[in-house]
Amino acid sequence: MKSSMRILPVAAAALLAGGCSMIPTYERPAPPVAAAFPYAPTTAGTPAAQLPWESFFSDPRLRKLIQTALQNNRDLRVAVLNMAQARAQYDIRNADRLPTVGLNASATRAPNALGKEANTYTVNLGISSWEIDFFGRVAALSQAALAQYLATEEGRKAAQISLVASVANTWLALAADEELLKLTQDTVATREETLRLTKLRFDNGVASELDYRLALSLTESARAALAQTRRQRANDLDALALLVGQPVGPDFTVGVTTLDVKLPDVPAGLPSQVLVNRPDVRQAEQLLIATNANIGAARAAFFPRISLTAGAGTASSQLSGLFKDGSWVYTVAPSLVQTVFDAGRNRANLSSAEAARDIAVAQYERAIQQAFRDVSDALAGRATYGEQVRAQGAVVEAESTRFRLARLRYESGVASYLDLLDAQRSLFTAQTALVQSRLQGLQNQVQLYRSLGGGWTEPKQ
């Protein structure tokens, strides 16, 4: 018993010096994904996370658009402001760990015990209800707020990466729109001329009404495709304006074709190295750390809460005597509050905190799995789009030859007019598919760069 009595003051001093933590030991969950990416042969090059977007995108007009978006995009601005708000919340929580000191000065004039008017001057410096964090409750809340702030910082990085990729993909879509617009306009002009000649032949009894109606159908189909292409281009211009945060005129042009755009290849690396460094995955992990710290705060609520109120001051009937010997007084008033009965509130709070931690674990693992799928899909695209574009180019070449031969055969009277129009229609379809395949391949390269963590650079101050 005497030994225990000697230990208590030492333990109390240790708690006062550093407190104790009720936060469970944090262990990062194992990534619930495969050990390697599929379709990921070893390739040389700079990892995407280390390759600035200024180096990945070489076109100066695209880089200017991205820079404008980084300055004006409202979603990114909200992400930055969320980070500032979370930082302020952390500063508030961290300030709770230190006492709040206030200074109060007053002067009063009132009748004294003899009924005469007397002055009283007072100056007090005090600490009001400072919680001495013996059991780490305040420290746990501060750590949770810090993790939430770091999560918003990672969210800001993820927002920038997504924004850079979105601007690039929309710019590429506009390049394809310009190609398709020219191709469709040329097709409309060709079919209108064919329709004019067919109508002339029909009026003179050389061509049948079937030939005329077929030529009319193909011409109207081309006009419908032209209207659709114009609408798609207008929609893509609206999307670009929203991304860059300022108007983009209808006369905006990309000035390059999808065939001209060249993007560098990036190595995939290993999931264990790539995925845990993605900002969205790190954001999920910081939120997990925050919920883990909240468990510590919920555990500490079972223990007494000790607070201290203290003050020191001086009082005098004369202003000149405020700071003379004998006028000083001080108070120290510690208090201890221990919950005796709360109808299970503390236990429910702990159960809620533990459930929130389990939810955060599942969300972190889900973020890992989604990131793995993003990379895997992009790698599958890298492995297949090259062959698709090559094969579609061969289709265009074959259809071009077919159309040329069908025209020669028709002019020689060997083939029917139906064969000529069918070859013309197939060529237009193949040319459209080739432009779209090149666009999808380029956008897949951008997606691979984004999914591997590329696109973040520290903004210039």
Q: In this predicted structure, what is the pLDDT of residue 18? A: 47
CB 258 within 8 A of CB 179: yes
CB 18 within 8 A of CB 293: no
CB 119 within 8 A of CB 199: no
CB 298 within 8 A of CB 339: no
CB 110 within 8 A of CB 119: no
The answer to whether the Cα torsion of 69, 71, 72, 77 is positive or negative is positive
pLDDT at residue 192 above 70? Answer: yes
Q: Which of 354, 373, 238, 362 shows the shortest CA–CA distance to 293?
A: 354
pLDDT tens digit string along 368-413? 999 999 999 999 999 999 999 999 999 999 999 999 999 999 888 8
The average pLDDT across 207-216 equals 90
Residue 201 belongs to what H/E stretch? helix 137-203
Greatest mean pLDDT among 96-100, 168-172, 213-217, 267-271 lies in: 168-172
How far from 411 is each of 147, 404, 414, CA to CA, in Å?
A: 76, 11, 8
Question: Partners of 68 in the beta sheet?
Answer: none
Average pLDDT, the chain: 88
- C-alpha span between 97 and 8 (Å, rounded): 24
Q: In this predicted structure, what is the pLDDT of residue 14? A: 39
Cβ partners under 8 Å of residue 39, min gap 6: 376, 379, 380, 382, 383
Question: What is the number of H-type helices and E-type strands within the chain?
Answer: 10, 4
pLDDT at residue 15 above 80? Answer: no
Q: Which of 381, 443, 460, 375 shows the shortest CA–CA distance to 166?
A: 443
How far from 425 is each of 88, 331, 391, 429, 436, CA to CA, in Å?
A: 63, 96, 19, 6, 17
Q: In this predicted structure, what is the pLDDT of residue 42? A: 61
Share of the chain above pLDDT 90, in %: 61
CB 226 within 8 A of CB 218: no
Q: Amino acid identity of 214? A: L
Count of beta carbons in the 10 Å neighbourhood of residue 324:
11
CB 389 within 8 A of CB 261: no
Q: Does domain 27-97+133-303+346-451 have CATH number 1.10.8.190?
A: no
Q: In this predicted structure, what is the pLDDT of residue 174? A: 97
pLDDT at residue 10 above 50? Answer: no
- C-alpha span between 262 and 256 (Å, rounded): 11
Q: Which of 291, 300, 10, 293 shows the shortest CA–CA distance to 131?
A: 300
Q: Which of 31, 183, 163, 103 shows the shortest CA–CA distance to 450?
A: 163
User: 227 phi and psi, to 5 degrees?
Assistant: -65, -40
Assessment of whether the complete model's pTM goes beyond 0.75: yes
Q: Which of 336, 264, 297, 259 shows the shortest CA–CA distance to 96?
A: 297
- C-alpha span between 438 and 183 (Å, rounded): 15
User: Could you report how far apart the first and last alpha carbons of the chain are, in Å?
Assistant: 64
The average pLDDT across 220-236 equals 96
Question: Partners of 334 in the beta sheet?
Answer: 308
Place of tokens 């390739």: 43
Residue 305 belongs to what H/E stretch? strand 305-316
Structure tokens at 336: 């201890």
- C-alpha span between 433 and 444 (Å, rounded): 16
Q: Which of 68, 229, 255 shows the shortest CA–CA distance to 175?
A: 255
Q: Does domain 100-132+305-337 have CATH number 3.30.70.2080?
A: no
pLDDT tens digit string along 247-300? 988 889 998 999 999 999 999 888 888 898 899 999 999 999 999 999 999 999
Half-sphere exposure of 331 (CA within 13 A, CB side): 15
Q: Amino acid identity of 284? A: A
pLDDT tens digit string along 296-342? 999 998 988 888 788 777 776 666 666 676 667 777 778 878 888 88
Place of tokens 């930082």: 87
Q: Amino acid identity of 159? A: A
pLDDT class of 4 with cuts at 50, 70, 90? very low
The number of residues in the chain equals: 461
Locate the domains of the chain by residue range.
Answer: 27-97+133-303+346-451, 100-132+305-337
pLDDT tens digit string along 140-179? 999 999 999 999 999 999 999 999 999 999 999 999 999 9
pLDDT at residue 240 above 70? Answer: yes
| Burial (CB count <10 Å: 0-12, 13-18, 19+), residue 430 | buried
